[in-house]
Amino acid sequence: MPYVKTQDGTDLYVKDWGSGRPVVLLHGWPLNADSWEPQAIALAEAGHRVIAYDRRGFGRSGQPWSGHDYDTYADDLKTVLEAAGATENVALVGFSMGGGEVVRYMSRHGGAGVTHAALIGSVAPGILKSDANPDGVPEAQLQEIAGQIAADRAKFFQSFLRDFYGVGVISHPVSDPLVEQSWNVAMQASLHATLEAAKAWGFTDFTPDLAAVNVPTLIIHGTSDATVPIGATAHRAAQGIARNQLVEYSGAPHGLFATESDRLTRDLLTFLGG
Cα atoms in the 13 Å half-sphere on the side-chain side of 227: 29
Residues 6+ apart with CB under 8 A from 87: 81, 112, 113
Per the annotation, the verdict on 225 as an active-site residue is yes
Question: 113: left (phi > 0), else alpha (psi -120 to 50), else beta?
Answer: left
**Nearest-5° angle of CA 117, CA 121, CA 125?**
70
Choosing from 27, 68, 116, 254, which is the catalytic residue? Answer: 254
What's the rounded Cα separation, in Å, for the pair 111 and 125?
17
Please identify which of the residues 16, 75, 76, 225 carries the catalytic annotation. Answer: 225
Q: Is 159 among the catalytic positions?
A: no
Looking at 61, 96, 122, 182, which residue is catalytic?
A: 96
Question: Does the annotation count 66 as an active-site position?
Answer: no
Q: List active site positions.
A: 96, 225, 254
